[in-house]
Amino acid sequence: MFEDVQIIEKDLGNGGKIAILRGGFHSPNPKAYMDNVVSDYVRDHIYNEFIEENLDTPWVRVIITGINALDYYNYADKRGLDSSCE
């Protein structure tokens, strides 16, 4: 089941995790396929799901768990993709 799905997971600390799933490239209905993948992955956990802005990439899903428990910092102190994540 879901043999064509690839995943990368990163621990965000404090019980938070980010996962990027991609698959269903050859499915006649990739949105429904990936909906099932996400349901299988998260099971009964609370999660946030982010979908590409134009909704034209149904093969990729970004899942974040524990989003409210993460250690946030002030954006003004460290912003931009060039800043360190450490």
In a domain, 23, yes or no: yes
Mean pLDDT of all residues in 29-48: 95
Mean pLDDT of all residues in 57-80: 88
- What pLDDT, on the 0 to 100 scale, is given for residue 50? 87
Please tell me the total count of domains within the chain: 1
In a domain, 14, yes or no: yes
Residues spanned by the domain of 47? 6-71
- What pLDDT, on the 0 to 100 scale, is given for residue 44? 95
In a domain, 25, yes or no: yes
- What pLDDT, on the 0 to 100 scale, is given for residue 85? 65
In a domain, 63, yes or no: yes
- Give yes or no for a contact between 57 and 68, defined as CB atoms under 8 angstroms apart: no
- What pLDDT, on the 0 to 100 scale, is given for residue 86? 60
- What pLDDT, on the 0 to 100 scale, is given for residue 7? 97
In a domain, 52, yes or no: yes
In a domain, 78, yes or no: no
pTM reported for the whole predicted model: 0.84
pLDDT-derived band of residue 82, with 50, 70 and 90 as boundaries? confident
> Helix (H, G, I), strand (E, B), or coil: what is residue 2?
coil
pLDDT-derived band of residue 79, with 50, 70 and 90 as boundaries? confident
Contacts of 48 (CB under 8 A, 6+ apart): 63, 64, 65, 67
